[in-house]
Amino acid sequence: MSSDLNELYQQLILDHNKSPRNFGKLEHATNHAEGYNPLCGDHFTVFVEMDGDVIKNVSFQGSGCAISKASASMMTTAVKGTKKEEAEKLFEKFHSVVTRDIHKEVDDLEDLGCLGALAGVAEFPARIKCASLAWHALHSALKSDGAVVSTEDAKLN
């Protein structure tokens, strides 16, 4: 098996795919938004419960491939308890890692914690949208306009 496949489908990702964390509807959600990829049918809803500026609780439900599901699951564990601003920063960081030029070294994966496991997605351009779908939905939920985000709108990646 090729090494980048091992990199993409590493144990942590397979585990989050099999047993997603924070999966299901959030009862006391203050905001939620849908993320949809019309090209492959991946469809998630991200729920957040805000306490002022803090993401007190977060969950997701829906269906998609292993990459999109694991990414959604890992995202919820990463942003739970963080400030909105921190979550947005993490998204920016995450986004820059999965869309990076693969010929360049990644210098500071450490800030990403377990999300760093998804860095291998950059080797698979067709799958970048899978990894970022839930993040776009979270971003929309935090803006609280709750608009459905499609991966095809404005060519989101």
Backbone region of residue 106 per phi and psi (left: phi > 0; alpha: psi in -120 to 50; beta: other values): beta
Alpha carbon separation from 95 to 15, 23, 30, 137, 140 (Å, rounded): 22, 22, 25, 13, 15
Kindly tell me which residue out of 7, 30, 124, 150 binds other proteins, with binding defined by CB under 8 A. 124
Q: Rounded to an integer, what distance in angstroms lies between the CA atom of residue 114 and that of residue 94?
A: 11
Residue 114 carries which DSSP code?
G
Whose Cβ is closer to other proteins: residue 64's or residue 79's?
A: 64
* Member of 5, 106, 114, 148 binding other proteins (CB under 8 A): 5
Using an 8 Å Cβ cutoff, are 122 and 97 in contact?
A: yes
Question: Which residue in the block uniquely carries the two structure tokens 């960081």?
Answer: 93
Per rule CB under 8 A, is residue 122 in the interface with other proteins? no
Binding mask 49-78 for other proteins (x = CB under 8 A): --------------xxxxx-----------
Of 16, 26, 36, 43, the one binding other proteins by CB under 8 A: 43
Contact pick of 97, 118, 130, 137 for other proteins (by CB under 8 A): 130
Figure out which of the listed residues 20, 31, 32, 42 binds other proteins, where binding follows CB under 8 A. Answer: 42
Contact set with other proteins (CB under 8 A): 1-2, 4-5, 8-9, 14, 39-43, 63-67, 124, 126-127, 130
